[in-house]
Every structure is written in C-alpha cells, then in structure tokens.
C-alpha cells in the first residue's frame, strides 16, 4: 500500500473498538464497579448505625437525618444529574462524581459530630446521584446491538444485586474488626480503580445538541421530589400534621411547575414526551410499584433475622444471599427470555413470582426454618432479576441515545420514590400493628414504653428483667411478626396487581432484534474510520 496518509481523517473518540472487539466489555467492567460501590454503600450504613450512635451520640431526630438525607438528596438530583451528563458528557460526569464520592467518603468516615455526619451524607448523595444514571446511559451509548445491550444491562443489574448482598457481609466483617468509619473507607480503592481505568477505557458520549442546563428546573425537581419523599416518611413516622401537609403541598406544587416548565422549554431538562411511549411509561410504573411492594420485606428482613431469630449481623447478611443469587442468574438471561417469549410475559411472570413469594411470608413465624426462608428469598431474587432487567432494557431502548441519561435517571427516581413510599406505607402498618401488643404484668413503665417504641427497644428493655423480660420480648416478637405478615400480604397484593398492570401496559412491547438505523449508521461510520486508521498505520510501518 502506498500513498500519503497525512490528510487521512483521525479516528473519532468513539471509534469502532467500542462497537466491536473487547473494548466495550472492558468498558462495562469499569461501569459495574460504580454500580457495585453504590449498592454496597446503600446497605452498610444500617449495620454501622448502632456503633455510630454510640460514638457521635446523635439525637433521635439527628439519627433519622443521618439515615435519610442521603436518599433524599439522591432522589431529588437524579433527573438533574442524568440531564447534566447528557449535556457535558457522561464519562466526564461519572469520573468527576466518582472522585467526589471517594473524597466525601473520607469525610463520612472521620465525622466528629452528628451535624458533620449529616452534611457529609448529604454531599455523598450529591456525588451518588451522578453515578447510576451515567452508567446506564453509557451502556446505551456503548452497546448499539440490542442483544448485547440486553446482556450488558443484565450484568449491570446483577452487580447491583451482588453489591446489595455483599454489603452486609463486608460491613459485618469490618465492624467486627475495625471502627465504624471503615465501612466508608472501602469506597476508596474501588473508586481509585474506577477512575484510573475509566480514564483510558470509557468512551465519551453526550447529546450533540444539548441546549442549556436549566437551573430553575433543577431547583424545582429538587424541591419537589425531596418535599414529597420527606412528607411521606414524616407522615409514616409521626402522622399527617400541618407541617407535613404543607411540605407535601409544596413538593406537589414544585413538581407540577416542573412539568409545565418542561413542556414550554425548547430544550427541556427532561423531555416529558418520553412518557407518551407506552412501553416507557409501563416500565417506569412497574419499577416504582415493585419496589413499593418489596420494600416492606427488605426493610424489616434484617430485624426479623437478628432480633427475632437471633442471628448475628454477619450471619444475617449471609442468610440473604439467595436473593442475590437468583437476581444475578436471571438478570443474565432475562433479555434472551424476553425475546423468546415476550416482554410482558417475562416482566409480569417475574412480578407474579415475587408476589407469591411475599404471600408465603404471611405464613412465617418466629421459628420458621431457613430452608423455607431461603426458598422465598431465591424466588424473590429470580422474579426481581427478570423484571428489573427487562424494564431497564425497555426504558433505554425506548429513547434516543442522546437522551439516555435523562431516561436512566427517571428509572432510578422511580426506584427511590418506590422505596420511600413503600417503607412509609408498609412501615406504618408494621409499626402500628407492633405497638398494639399487651405488656405483660409487672413490667416497669419505662421498660414498657421502650419496648413499644421498637423491637430493638424491646430487646434492650428485656435485659435484666428475668422471666418477665422473656415474656416481654416474646410478646414484642409475636407482635412484630403479626405486623410483618400484614405488610407482606399488602406487598403481595401490590405485586400481583402490578403484574396485571404490566401485562396490559407492555402489550406488544418487544426488545429490538437489530440496531436502529441511526446506530447502524454510526457503527458503520466508526468501522470505516477505524479501517482507514488501520490502513494508515500499516502504510506508515511500510
């Protein structure tokens, strides 16, 4: 081959190596590091809370804010951060957010007061809001072949499930050997690898016609989502008073204003036309309601394992592994199953399986054996793995790749809202039933009051009271189980109704079999560019 190649076009940053070869799978390996980290971080704080409370001595209100502020901020900023990634570049947002996440994790680990811890958790929420939408959006832009994208989304979801299972195990080990801050420092080595490797392996992608980032829309989204989530949680904990009503109305008004503003803006922060797509709308609704129905079991399961069945934190973490195993296994084959049968069959079938598993929890008691519990958790994992993987695939496949960040953020926001609503509604049921138990005779008033506050309070109050304490704890545990059974029944009903709704809303929805025309053209162009660059390199060597 001869000829001057100095004028040959240089390969684009997103050249064919991201559409072919191992490059895109190496990029996916980097992305799942971020997912794994966020999933682990979401579960370790619960284990560390007793140790943190002993050291920092927060008030009851401060302790609630330490636990809640992270999820509040993430929920409020997901849409804004997803849209920001579409505008400035998803790789740039992911890597800068990762650096911030690592640095703020140090601030969390070494917090010296409750106020400092609350601020640190809020800042960690800001950084965390950049990670999940950016990873899904990059998957949408790296994997143009729909079948490969289905597998990539399955791996993404599998790592999220694995992280949720690994979190309690790793956290339990660290808390047995180190101080509570160590559960935050585990973020650092993962973040270091993610940033150093991601700089080289991840391709940049953004909306080529981004438009301005509308700050008023960002503020309206933040105020609206945080207002609604906060009002729901406060109503569950303390009743629906005047302050809670005002917060709820403020949140609803802000979200209404947000939607109206998006419809007027030439380049909105969130394109509301996405919701005109029935598949997109059905997948988002299915995610929200599924998490709502599941959250009661997820939230109270650790209490059941530790405070009712007497398992230590590490053993309780290990006991939850079947759910992760089921989710990982089915997440990897969900796309193939949806193409062989149908999207609505796989999603509805998965949700129905979870609903039936929750219905089985209504038969549980204090001494239910682990084989029954492990089977239920495995079925929950299998059903959730099928459902969440396919709905994520539907959401990403329903939008142009330029808006992948905003679409992924909508999916994650539905998850956060579903969790907040589920814990509030089903948590209220469990708490209301639990507090109704009759205190055995002879129990001191202070011990009785503590026992009625929570099951943990009953465990502490029972110490030193001898047989009376045993009777108090038995009554509290039986009352807790009654509440858990009612919540599981409610969750089962929600999941079964959601399965029916998904069957209707996802009618005719299919996962793509071949790349859309725009993606095929992109891939062909990138391949031609790569071929030109390869030819130039050969010519130079000659």
The tens digit of pLDDT for each residue in 133-143 reads 778 778 877 87
pLDDT band (50, 70, 90) for residue 11:
very low
**What pLDDT sits at residue 237?**
63
Contact 417, 288 (CB under 8 A): yes
Mean pLDDT of 443-450: 80
**What pLDDT sits at residue 236?**
64
Query: Among 45-59, 77-91, 174-188, 328-342, which is the least confidently predicted range?
Result: 45-59
Contact 311, 426 (CB under 8 A): no
**Do the first three CATH levels of 18-145+152-213 and 275-512 match, i.e. the same topology?**
yes
Mean pLDDT of 457-475: 79
- The rounded percent of the chain whose pLDDT value lies above 70 is 84
CATH, domain 18-145+152-213, list 1.20.1250.20, 3.10.300.10, 2.60.120.10, 3.30.465.10: 1.20.1250.20
pLDDT band (50, 70, 90) for residue 515:
low
**What pLDDT sits at residue 305?**
84
CA 74 to chain centre: 10
**What pLDDT sits at residue 5?**
39
- For the chain, domain boundaries: 18-145+152-213, 275-512
Mean pLDDT of 68-82: 79
Mean pLDDT of 101-118: 89
Asked if pLDDT for residue 532 goes beyond 70, the answer is no
Asked if pLDDT for residue 514 goes beyond 50, the answer is yes
**What pLDDT sits at residue 343?**
87
Average pLDDT taken over every residue of the chain: 78
Asked if pLDDT for residue 214 goes beyond 70, the answer is yes
Asked if pLDDT for residue 537 goes beyond 80, the answer is no
CA distances from 426 to 68, 151, 470 (A): 17, 34, 28
Maximum mean pLDDT: which of 231-235, 286-290, 417-421: 286-290
**What pLDDT sits at residue 16?**
42
Give 171-178 contacts, CB < 8 A, sequence gap 24+: 171/43, 171/44, 171/47, 171/48, 171/313, 171/317, 172/47, 172/312, 172/313, 172/314, 172/316, 172/317, 173/314, 174/44, 175/47, 175/48, 175/51, 175/313, 176/314
CA distance 238 to 495: 27
pTM of the model: 0.73
Asked if pLDDT for residue 460 goes beyond 90, the answer is no
Mean pLDDT of 512-532: 47
Mean pLDDT of 212-240: 79
Model confidence pLDDT, tens digit, residues 236-272: 666 677 888 898 899 999 989 988 888 888 878 777 8
User: Which CATH architecture best describes the domain 275-512?
Assistant: Up-down Bundle (1.20)
pLDDT band (50, 70, 90) for residue 195:
confident
């Amino acid at each position: 081959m001869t000829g001057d190649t100095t004028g040959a076009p240089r390969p684009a940053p997103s050249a064919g190596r991201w559409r072919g070869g191992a490059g895109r799978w190496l990029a996916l390996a980097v992305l799942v590091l971020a997912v794994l980290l966020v999933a682990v971080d979401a579960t370790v704080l619960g284990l560390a809370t007793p140790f943190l409370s002993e050291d920092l001595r927060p008030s009851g209100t401060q302790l609630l804010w330490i636990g809640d502020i992270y999820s509040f901020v993430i929920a409020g900023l997901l849409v804004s951060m997803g849209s920001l990634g579409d505008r400035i570049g998803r790789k740039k947002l992911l890597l800068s957010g990762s650096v911030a996440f690592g640095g703020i994790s140090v601030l969390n680990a070494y917090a010296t007061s409750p106020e400092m811890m609350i601020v640190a958790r809020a800042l960690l929420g800001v950084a965390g809001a950049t990670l999940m939408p950016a990873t899904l959006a990059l998957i949408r832009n790296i994997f143009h072949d729909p079948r490969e994208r289905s597998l990539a989304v399955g791996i993404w979801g599998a790592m999220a499930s694995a992280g949720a299972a690994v979190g309690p195990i790793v956290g339990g080990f660290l808390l047995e050997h180190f101080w509570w801050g160590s559960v935050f420092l585990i973020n650092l080595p993962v973040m270091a690898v993610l940033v150093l490797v991601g700089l080289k392996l991840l391709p940049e992608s953004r909306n080529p016609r981004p438009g301005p980032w509308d700050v008023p829309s960002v503020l309206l989204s933040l105020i609206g989502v945080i207002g609604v989530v906060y009002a729901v949680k406060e109503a569950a904990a303390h009743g629906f008073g005047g302050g809670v009503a005002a917060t709820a109305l403020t949140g609803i008004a802000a979200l209404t204003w947000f939607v109206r503003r998006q419809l007027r803006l030439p380049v909105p922060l969130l394109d509301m036309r996405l919701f005109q797509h029935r598949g997109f709308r059905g997948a988002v609704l299915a995610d929200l309601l599924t998490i709502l129905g599941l959250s009661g079991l997820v939230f109270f399961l650790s209490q059941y394992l530790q405070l009712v069945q007497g398992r230590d934190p590490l053993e309780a973490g290990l006991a939850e592994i079947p759910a992760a195993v089921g989710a990982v296994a089915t997440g990897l084959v969900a796309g193939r199953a949806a193409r062989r049968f149908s999207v609505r069959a796989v999603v509805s079938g998965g949700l129905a399986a979870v609903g039936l598993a929750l219905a089985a929890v209504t038969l549980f008691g204090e001494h239910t054996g682990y084989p029954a519990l492990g089977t239920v958790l495995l079925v929950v994992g299998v059903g959730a793995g099928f459902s969440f993987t396919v709905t994520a695939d539907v959401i990403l496949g329903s939008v142009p790749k330029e808006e992948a960040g905003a679409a992924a953020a909508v999916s994650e926001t539905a998850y956060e809202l579903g969790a907040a609503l589920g814990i509030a509604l089903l948590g209220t049921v469990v708490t209301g039933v639990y507090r109704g138990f009759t205190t055995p005779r002879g129990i001191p008033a202070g011990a009785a009051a503590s026992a009625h506050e929570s099951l943990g309070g009953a465990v502490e109050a029972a110490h030193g009271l001898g047989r009376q304490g045993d009777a108090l704890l038995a009554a509290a545990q039986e009352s807790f189980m009654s509440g858990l059974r009612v919540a599981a029944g409610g969750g089962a009903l929600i999941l079964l109704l959601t399965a029916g709704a998904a069957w209707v809303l996802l009618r005719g929805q299919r996962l793509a079999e071949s790349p859309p025309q725009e993606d095929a053209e992109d891939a062909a162009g990138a391949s031609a560019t790569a071929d030109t660059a390869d030819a130039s390199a050969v010519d130079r060597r000659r």
